[in-house]
Amino acid sequence: MMEKICVIGLGYIGLPTAAIFAKAGYEILGVDVNEKAINLINEGKIHIEEVGLPEVVKEVVLSGNLRASKTVEEADVFIISVPTPIHEDHTANVDYVTSATESILPYIKKGNVVIVESTIPPRTIDDVVAPLFEKSGWNVKEDIYLAHCPERVLPGRILIELVENTRIVGGYTPEAAHQAAEVYRKIVTGDVIETQAVTAEMSKLMENTYRDVNISLANELAKISAELGVNTLDVIKLANRHPRVNIHTPGPGVGGHCLAVDPYFIIEKAPELSPLIATARKINNSMPAFVLDCVKKLVNSGGKIAVLGLTYKGNIDDVRESPAMEIVSLLSEHNFQVSVHDPHVNQNQVFFPLHNFKDAISGAECILVLTDHNEFNELDEKCIVMNMRRPIILDTKDCVKTYNDSIVYYNFNNLYDVINNKIETLI
């Protein structure tokens, strides 16, 4: 067993990764630039929301297997797990990966395993990371074992999937792939597959691109169905009864640091050869404006909208690339009064005030559901009827169960009247 692992980046992936390795008995040093996060972790606490993570972090910090620092130290294995955002032109920003790599260079020893878990464009290991080591005097094919092992976990199940999911380990050399794979085989019960670095890079991107394209098909179907008077959700449910069909569900857009970002990493490398991927991105990016149009046909400008949910998926606290954040901005720009409630988001994550449920809906003319948190499955219908100016729900996530005849409910199954201005409740 490798004695010490240094994890660079203690965010939504890095911290759970560090915790899982620490629980398996490794000595783990977690490194991050966020001093507040470091202090919390060293107290056995966490700065993000993930099921089961608080208990594991507390356990491994108390055992001495995990500690956090702003400073890198020598280790046997280095795992880089930092963000890769996109520039305004949708090209990848690999500055964090570059900085993280440069931060470990003074501490590298011959025989070290260096693994980049960050999602990166194809050929980043070959064209960006490896040259940094070469420039520092290392022979990357002989002195160290450089590899890419992309994370492929679902928020809310990260601790489970880090262990159970198949891992794809792409090495700069075949031996690097093997050495990096051996690190994961100590904790992973699923398959650990060895391949080339560029293949691993592209496989991760295509996993999320497949889903993004599928969602764009559902979103385009939702727009067409609203125009024609077709029940979108019923169509999808029936089409999916075919044994080889799996249409995803429509929604207010696509968010998160994977589906809304990864396809661009492919597009930038081959823009003329990726029209389908680019079109899917445009369709999904158009959904916030589509939601705004629906709201404008339900409520006059100046009316109050109660937004429920800011995160890009249910039961997490992650607002990165969330379409809900864009929709809130669009509503404000079009002179709506916007009141937001999200039980999973802290005030310091957003630039506008958050409210409790009753305050958010009081005087509102429409509840706009943008995230499928469990808390929104059963809303207080008595509170809605008593406190809203008009009890209307526009549910873009098909998660709210309503039983009160006094509440007007819309989802992607019945938008025809909204789109075509045939709603009786329109003022």
| C-alpha span between 138 and 76 (Å, rounded) | 16
- For CA atoms 315, 192, 257, 322, the dihedral sign is negative
Indicate which residue of 204, 304, 313, 397 is catalytic.
204
228: left (phi over 0), alpha (psi -120 to 50) or beta: alpha
- To the query of whether residue 204 is one of the catalytic residues in this protein, the response is yes
- Closest by CA to 269, choosing from 320, 176, 346, 205, is 205
3-state secondary structure (DSSP) of residue 94: coil
- Closest by CA to 393, choosing from 375, 367, 417, is 367
Contact residues for 202 (Cβ-Cβ < 8 A; gap 6+): 122, 266
| C-alpha span between 265 and 24 (Å, rounded) | 34
The gap between the terminal CA atoms of the chain, to the nearest Å, is 69
- To the query of whether residue 186 is one of the catalytic residues in this protein, the response is no
- Beta strands 392-395; 337-341: pairing state: unpaired
**Token pair 């990864």 in the structure block, residue:** 262
Indicate which residue of 6, 149, 258, 366 is catalytic.
258
Residues with a catalytic annotation lie at 204, 258
